Amino acid sequence: MSTQPKLLVIDDEPGVLKFVERFAPRFGLDVVGRTDARAALSELPALRPDAVLVDLKMPDINGLDVLRAIRDIDPTCQVILMTGHASVDTAIEAVKLGALDYVSKPFDLDRLGGLLTGVGKSLERRERLLEVDADIARKFAFYGMIGRSPVMHELFDAIRRFAPHVRTVLITGETGTGKELVARALHTLGSRSSRRYVTVNCSAVVEGLFESELYGHQRGAFTGASDTKVGLFEHADKGTLFLDEIGELPLAIQAKLLRAVEHGEVQRVGALDAKRVDVTVIAATNRDLRTEAAAGRFRSDLYYRLSVMELRLVPLRERREDIPYLSAAFIREAADRLKRPIIGMTAGAELALLQAPWPGNVRELRNVIERACLLSDAKMLSERDVRTAMPPTTDLPAEPAPAGAGLPAADSPWDPHFLTNAQRSQVEQAMRKAGGNKAAAARLLGVSRRTMYRWLERLDFSPRSDPRQEG
């Protein structure tokens, strides 16, 4: 880890603070001590401790109340209770509330040392796993797109194969799926990458001026045409013209566009002769142009000319296995830009993202992650951060779904220390029922196979089963 983990110690006895300040650094922890629990809680967002050692009995506030407040402020923070009045009931309640463990006073130094060692190792393991996710996201990045799913690999392969050869491409897909990224990748990998790449938003240009924008005009061709203007087709000559939202084009303009695409001829408004241009045309739309053409709202001849090569982008809900990798990349990007210390997200946050419907697709996910990073002062985005950042229209369950979709039920980081015994039992029971087949166990729990793999990895679960059943 780049810096030592920080341990916050809260105890009204100064002697305890002095002892822990001397004892804990040998386990690789920086120690910050506070005798005032309420003041310590107010400082928590600024201190950002990785772990807290808190006394159960203090004059102004109960240690369990401090634990609740810490879990509410930063659910990733590991909390150990100290008490001179230990009881089984207190220990059970503390663990239920999310405490890592408790230690009795006077301290058993071996036990305290073991707990602090475990805290350090857990934090190191968590950071390594987060780094792995970020590395995987980088590994599966393709010209700004990220995808490990089969459909995305097929898309990337198609772009590589066809980019050097195609002259017209139609990219279809819902809003926010990344159509412009595909267009740029086609240009970059094509034979015209050193030439101009010109973008036209067909839905944003005024209809009466569209011909002038695309094909240019002669001086005096209409009122206000004080100079001759080169159109975007001529401007993109020998390069690439990207026609975004082409489904919004009026029918009257589509006929002239067909001639420009098919024959490479454009005629400036007010000019007598046509000009020859050599342009690769990439068009994109969130409409079904085949249906639009059948209904008479889009010219069928233009559709067939554009769709010589058609690439369809699937919505995010059809490739949910990519969400963790996209999220890791977006968190890293937002944290760097916003100068935040965020390194990842909790299990509850990831589960909330996996459950969301994402009508706005990858663009919406990026925006949610950025808003969550703005809201969070912790090192890990929590489920609360993510749910607060979701737009009001997002149909996200208020609580995690039952069965496996609720594992882990607590908003906690991916670490076995933060899985309750009941949750561990649920995972292990599913594995036994599935005969060691991870894919089948994931289906029983109602989670993705990747999520199941991560739980098993963190539980260090090694079922004795036929390796051929692992799925």
DSSP H or E stretch at residue 312 = strand 310-312
Which pLDDT score is estimated for 421? 52
Q: State the number of CA atoms in the 13 A half-sphere of 397 facing the CB.
A: 13
Give 79's contacts (C-beta < 8 A, 6+ positions apart). Answer: 51, 52, 54, 67, 70, 71, 98, 99, 100
CB crowding 220-257: b at 16 or more within 10 Å, else e: ebeeeeeeebebbbbbbbebbbbbbbbbebeeebeebb
pLDDT at position 174 over 50 = yes
Average pLDDT, the chain: 83
Choice among 7-21, 160-174, 333-347 with the minimum mean pLDDT? 333-347
**pTM for the full model?**
0.70
Looking at per-residue confidence, does 306 or 418 come out higher? Answer: 306
Are 31 and 21 in contact by the 8 Å Cβ rule? The answer is: yes
Identify any residues that bridge with 197 across adjacent strands, giving them in sequence order: 240
Average pLDDT of the segment spanning 462-467: 44
pLDDT digits (tens, 9 = 90+) for 433-445: 777 888 777 777 6
Provide the token pair at 326. Answer: 């996209």
Local confidence band at 402 (pLDDT 50, 70, 90 cut-offs): very low
> How far apart are the C-alpha atoms of 109 and 107, rounded to whole Å?
6
Give 420's contacts (C-beta < 8 A, 6+ positions apart). Answer: 95, 408, 409, 410
Looking at per-residue confidence, does 182 or 468 come out higher? Answer: 182
pLDDT digits (tens, 9 = 90+) for 291-332: 999 999 999 999 999 999 999 999 999 999 999 999 999 999
pLDDT digits (tens, 9 = 90+) for 55-105: 988 888 888 889 888 887 777 788 998 887 656 577 677 777 888 888 888
pLDDT at position 138 over 70 = yes
The secondary structure of residue 104, as a DSSP letter, is E
CB crowding 127-151: b at 16 or more within 10 Å, else e: bebbeebbebbeebebeebbbbbee
Portion of the chain with pLDDT greater than 90, in percent: 43
Crossing angle of helices 347-355/323-338, nearest 10°? 120
Are 426 and 407 in contact by the 8 Å Cβ rule? The answer is: yes
pLDDT at position 107 over 60 = yes
pLDDT digits (tens, 9 = 90+) for 92-101: 777 778 888 8
Local confidence band at 272 (pLDDT 50, 70, 90 cut-offs): confident
The secondary structure of residue 469, as a DSSP letter, is G
pLDDT digits (tens, 9 = 90+) for 193-241: 999 999 999 887 776 678 888 888 888 777 777 788 888 999 999 999 9
Helix (H, G, I), strand (E, B) or coil at 429: helix
Which pLDDT score is estimated for 382? 85
Average pLDDT of the segment spanning 132-148: 85
Phi-psi category of residue 201: left, alpha or beta, with phi > 0 → left and psi -120 to 50 → alpha: beta
Looking at per-residue confidence, does 132 or 30 come out higher? Answer: 30
Which pLDDT score is estimated for 87? 63
Which pLDDT score is estimated for 469? 42
